Structure 1
Amino acid sequence: MTADNPMRLTVITQYYVPEPSRTPTSITRGLAARGHRVRVVTGFPNYPTGRLYDGYRQSLTHVERDDAGLQVRRVPLVTSHSSNGLTRALNYLSFMVSGLLATRFARGSDVTYVYASQPTGALAALVWRIARGTPYVIHVQDLWPDSITASGMLPSRMSKVVGAVINRALRPLYSFAAAVVVISPYMRDALIARGIDPGKLHVVFNWSPDETPCASRAPSDAAGCTVTYAGNLGSAQGLDTAVQAARIVADELPGFRLLFVGSGTMESELRRLADGLECVEFRGRVPADKMPEIYAETSFQLVILRPTGDLAGAVPSKLQASLSAGMPVICSAPGSAPEIVRSAAAGFTASPGNVEELAEAYRRAYACSSSDHAAYARNARAYYTEHLSSTVGLAKLEALLSSAIKSTARRAHSPQEA
């Protein structure tokens, strides 16, 4: 269906503006900009602090219009973003159940799109599919139960039991879906291994909210080589590896610099690890409108995650941001991210958690000629435009939603089997 024949679409997402929810907001507004009639079912805003935003009071019947003019039905939930397993479970489960309060609001929709940062939000879509035949497409952002059992929120003795229960609960959510969208090839393969119909699985990469190209600086004898990590300084990133690799090359690469932009729970530990290393710099948080200035002094962006199974299905969002900006990349992460960098010919890769390989990637970046650096930058932007951009992603989602509607209509009009 196109703007000439628009879809009536209900979007279910636990997080939505004014929360920092750029991906579901971008998808929702992107589909509306293509002429479709979009309504949103979401929770009351409380992420990331777990406290209800000022100006909101939870109720059973709240409907508003967002700043893009879309109708938004907010349903009550237990507000929490605690690391405590019980309160986090109540947050997810309360949204799962209260989504059913939007049944009247969603009436008349041709299709439901579920943005599954966690899959619990899909219950309402499943009920609407069974009760009134409305098809749904579920967009899996996080691989469950892996991310739950590996999060540390559960005692280790409970993880296996909880994982088995979650796996069983997810089967009907996937089997009744018209399509299951995943954000990486690794995630697709993982779900196939769990028995999900391969014909239902489709890879649609998340895109960068800001798709503006930026200038970067080629390594040179005068300017040296700056490798920048911009983002959360948390435990999941494995940034100790980046510092340890910098210590290896510090004396052999004059003018090499590892720049950290951002803050997080591991900042103090990283500063301790970098003590005495003049080539490591911590810049702190930088406003988004100042990031082009950071890019202008950067030779390569560092995309890094620790080597654990629960993160292997993810493609770090800073990879899309880097490629969109036309920034060459050094990637040290599990899953599909390194293959993207290699396919794009946009920089260098190292095995996640491997200090020696990352040090070698620093050396290769430092030795990169101006012409090769320019080629990596062009390749990054070209690959993003062709494979990862919002234009590509929205077109794929639009096609899958339209196909779900048409498939349901064909089943409704097919002769009954004897």
Structure 2
Amino acid sequence: MSSESSGVKGKRCLLLTNYFYPETFRGNDVAFEMVKRGYEVTVITCIPNYPQGRFYDGYGMWRRRREVVNGVNVIRVPVIPRGNGRAIRMVLNYVSSLFFTFIYTLSIVLRKKFDFIFVQELSPAFIGIPAVLAKKIQHIPIYFWLLDVWPESLAAGGITNKYIIGIVDKIMRRIYRNCHKIFIAAPGVRSLLQQRGVRNDCIEDLPNWGEDALQGDEVSEDQLPPLPDGFRIMFAGNLGEAQNLENVMRVAERLKDDKRIQWIFIGDGRKKKWVQQFVQSREMEDTVHLYKRYPIEYMSAFFKKADIMLLSLCNNNAFNVTLPAKLQAYMLNAKPVLVMANGEAQSVVREARCGYGANADSIDKMVRLVLSISRVPKQELEQKGRNGYHYYQRHFRRDKCMNDLFGTIENYKKKGAKK
């Protein structure tokens, strides 16, 4: 291995993730914070194409494959874009991202010395495989931020073949065994990891947090598209298979004759076309409104126009133990939350006293709940929003999460231990 190296010894990080800026995931914050704290960070990631399924403007197979973003050295590997999200395109996307990330990781760890590896794990979870390769070559620890639980998430996406699920489960167990620490975004994930043989002392909490841009006032009201009058239930984010949109639409259909209740969806994703077709076929255009994906800087302005924010997830073992990042975004903006999901999300909203909830498949209850909420005094909704904001400050504040993360990394360095 070449002795090529720079930066402060002990602070040279190889960060592996399938998604990085300009894609909006919390791994961006981790990388940028590392630079602020004196770390040298090299990111290996894919050409940005999430969630719209095509390369972002200015990026491509021969464009901006290497760049420096806020002091972070970014290497973008070739990848087949997700496209329209159909199965064959997703498989090609997953396979190409794994193959090229593996090749590029091998190339760089043979030339450059690192002190540790940080993995932001989102689907596809196989991003952990090149991390294990880097660990074996350089004998350095892996810090693995588990944000999408496989193989449970595969089953939620319709892959139920026991042979495939079994293979993926074995791969994930092997990845976990090679991690020095596994960070989890919700407490419920701990039991799933323990069932896979992960020791409790290898698991640390690292929840999502709201991004700084979510609190900005750069976007004025007149920069937003016209929104319908009425009681506004707003969903912001990815419109995918996980978001339980079929049941949400059934609720909206049951309430379509009540023109006071307006459903607003802001974002993009694999399921958006289905939602559009459903709305048109049921003649729901008066009460269900879909808007394009807007930059994150617009979200605070949109949130201010909503009466309550919607968080929905399918009933699945993986989703029931996860805590979607949009919940923290809603809380940070002091908005009340309407949950149509099981497990962790509903538990946190109940504990924080910041909203209302029904189970993922409880369509009748959700219909009654929406009707009831649409008539509650505005002051009650505002109080729920304030409750959520205070809960966020106690549990999900960005600086708290960062200090916890870097405390764990620094503690390992001080001990001088080797995994």
User: Which TM-score bucket, shorter chain as reference?
Assistant: 0.7 to 0.9
Aligned to 1:185, what secondary structure does the other structure show? coil
Aligned to 1:294, what secondary structure does the other structure show? helix
Residues 312/41 of structure 1: CA separation in 2 closer, same or farther (3 Å cut): same
Q: Is the 8 A contact 1:13 1:115 kept in 2?
A: yes
Q: CA deviation at 1:341?
A: 0.7
Answer yes or no: is 1:352 the counterpart of 2:360. Answer: yes
Counterpart-to-counterpart distance in 2, 1:63 and 1:284: 31
Q: Counterpart amino acid of 1:335?
A: G
* Cα deviation digits, residues 235-269 of structure 1 (max 9, x gap): 43223433433454566x77333333345122223
1:415 corresponding residue in structure 2: none
Unaligned runs of at least 5 residues, structure 2: 1-7, 221-228
TM-score, scaled relative to structure 1: 0.81
Report matched runs for 1:226-245 at 5 Å.
226-245=232-251
Q: CA deviation at 1:224?
A: 5.5
Number of aligned positions between the proteins: 391
Q: Is the 8 A contact 2:27 2:120 kept in 1?
A: yes
Counterpart-to-counterpart distance in 2, 1:55 and 1:77: 11
2:119 corresponding residue in structure 1: 114
1:284 corresponding residue in structure 2: 291
Counterpart-to-counterpart distance in 1, 2:188 and 2:356: 20
Counterpart-to-counterpart distance in 2, 1:201 and 1:364: 41
Find 1:100's aligned residue among 91, 97, 106: 106
Aligned to 2:16, what secondary structure does the other structure show? strand
Residues 282/104 of structure 1: CA separation in 2 closer, same or farther (3 Å cut): same
Report matched runs for 1:207-356 at 5 Å.
207-209=209-211, 210-212=213-215, 225-248=231-254, 255-262=260-267, 264-272=272-280, 274-275=282-283, 278=286, 280-285=287-292, 287-288=294-295, 289-356=297-364
2:45 corresponding residue in structure 1: 42
Counterpart-to-counterpart distance in 1, 2:41 and 2:199: 28
When the two chains are superposed, the root-mean-square deviation of aligned CA atoms in Å is 3.3
1:141 corresponding residue in structure 2: 147
Counterpart-to-counterpart distance in 2, 1:119 and 1:277: 38
Residues 55/299 of structure 1: CA separation in 2 closer, same or farther (3 Å cut): closer
* Cα deviation digits, residues 221-244 of structure 1 (max 9, x gap): xx8532222334444322343343
Q: CA deviation at 1:38?
A: 2.2
2:180 corresponding residue in structure 1: 178
Q: Whose radius of gyration is greater, 1 or 2?
A: 1
Counterpart-to-counterpart distance in 2, 1:384 and 1:228: 20
Q: Which moved more, 1:292-301 or 1:391-400?
A: 292-301
* Cα deviation digits, residues 168-226 of structure 1 (max 9, x gap): 222232122110112222222222222221221122112222341889xxxxxxx8532
Q: Is the 8 A contact 1:137 1:177 kept in 2?
A: yes
2:29 corresponding residue in structure 1: 26
Find 1:12's aligned residue among 7, 16, 25: 16
Counterpart-to-counterpart distance in 2, 1:372 and 1:291: 23
Counterpart-to-counterpart distance in 2, 1:389 and 1:94: 36
Q: Counterpart amino acid of 1:35?
A: G
Aligned to 1:122, what secondary structure does the other structure show? helix
Q: Is the 8 A contact 1:95 1:121 kept in 2?
A: no
Q: CA deviation at 1:337?
A: 0.8
Answer yes or no: is 1:79 the counterpart of 2:80. Answer: yes
Q: CA deviation at 1:276?
A: 5.4
* Cα deviation digits, residues 314-359 of structure 1 (max 9, x gap): 3223212211111101111133111111111101011112112212
1:377 corresponding residue in structure 2: 385
Q: CA deviation at 1:89?
A: 4.2
Report matched runs for 1:363-402 at 5 Å.
363-402=371-410
Aligned to 2:315, what secondary structure does the other structure show? coil
Q: Is the 8 A contact 1:140 1:183 kept in 2?
A: yes
Q: Is the 8 A contact 2:214 2:299 kept in 1?
A: no
Unaligned runs of at least 5 residues, structure 1: 216-222, 413-418
